[in-house]
Structure 1
Amino acid sequence: MPAFIAYPLAALAEIAGCFAIWSWWRLGAPPLWLVPGIGALMAFGWLLAQVDTVAAGRAFAAYGGVYVAASVLWMWFAEGVRPDKWDAVGTAVCLFGTAIILMGPRNA
């Protein structure tokens, strides 16, 4: 599966799963929130494993920037907290790093 498909889906699954646990633990949501949360985290792991690369660490490192961007968007749209300029700059730096990892020339 191409990274440009797997990474955004993995980010959504990871953030949703973590948010379900956060909601149960910190916001008092019912324990049943853990069921879809665990399912989402399982989907996250599966999606990340679909990225075609020779090293898992490279897939995980490149994913990190996408996760940061998705987390900032989650903060804005799901939690209603508008990102500030430092959120935007930090996200841009992370995505630039992701692009370097994904598109850097590799020895065959």
Structure 2
Amino acid sequence: MRKAFNLKVNSLLSFLRELFEIEALPDYQEVVRRNFEDFIAQRQFNSNQIQFLRAVQNVFLKKRRLEVPDLYEAPLDRFGEDAVERWFTEEEVDDLIEFVAQLVA
């Protein structure tokens, strides 16, 4: 895309936004941020959980995917090796993985 259209974009959404000059169309990062905000707002998370989820959001934006093992790797391991078990139930982890899977599609 960079060569053909002289555009530096990081997603199809960004490309379409630039191509059709639609400023109101949010880019992928903004869509992910909004969805994470909604995900967090719909649940009763404490401050540690919210900090962890914000870091998860950043990891997801870099990798464009997220699986359970990713929750235990850098940079998320800085919260402690057992942060996932300390702060989240199995059901909450499953909900998180299902949620990010929808963002990939």
Give TM class, smaller chain: 0.3 to 0.5
Q: TM-score, normalized by length of structure 1?
A: 0.37
Give the number of the structure with larger relative contact order, counting CA–CA contacts within 8 Å between residues 6 or more apart. 1
Larger gyration radius, structure 1 or structure 2: 2
More helix per residue: 1 or 2? Answer: 1
Q: Under a length normalisation based on structure 2, what TM-score does the superposition of the two structures give?
A: 0.38
